[in-house]
Structure 1
């Protein structure tokens, strides 16, 4: 029951984030590391990937599709970690300290949790709740 509820919280979270990437890419472009080629295209594609992953995760008919959505969203969360780190470094370098460590440290620490949550809600893993046999 908890897994289902978290699935239907995580899927809209990613769907909305994907929409924001497509409808208003400017904030995402600002935090994209300089080494990323074709940043506008990458931001657009990440938005599409988030929406597709959210749709796959939320649909109740196909276990394979739900698992693919969970894996895709987990990989996405892993791949955007450099942008989050870049955002923290750029923001903390501002004269006013930007959002501050109170924002950035929890955000960085939450990334592994988002990766696990995508895998768990996608039924890719049962860890750590599976009973040992």
Structure 2
């Protein structure tokens, strides 16, 4: 009985530690992708918990590189995999997981994961 009580307490402590860390990580992610505001072809971007949606108004020559850079920068000091979703600028109500995106790029712990964006 004491063993189960200790397990519950341990899970509670772990949960209370992870929740605030994930909130701080999401806020830090917003500051890590501020450079997107300086890119001419980015019309808007939104940061969700572990997803970033970029609304592109035309695709730049280094489109793959911008998605790669955004995913890696956003995932630094993150506890989870970050996904960067690229959509057309007219899709402002689009949310992660819906169809109709241009491509998606992933990264975890500051290391590039995979991408289906064309180089």
Q: Same fold (TM over 0.5)?
A: no
Larger Rg: 2
| Greater helix share, structure number | 1
Higher relative contact order (CA 8 A, sep 6+): 1
TM-score by length of 2: 0.30
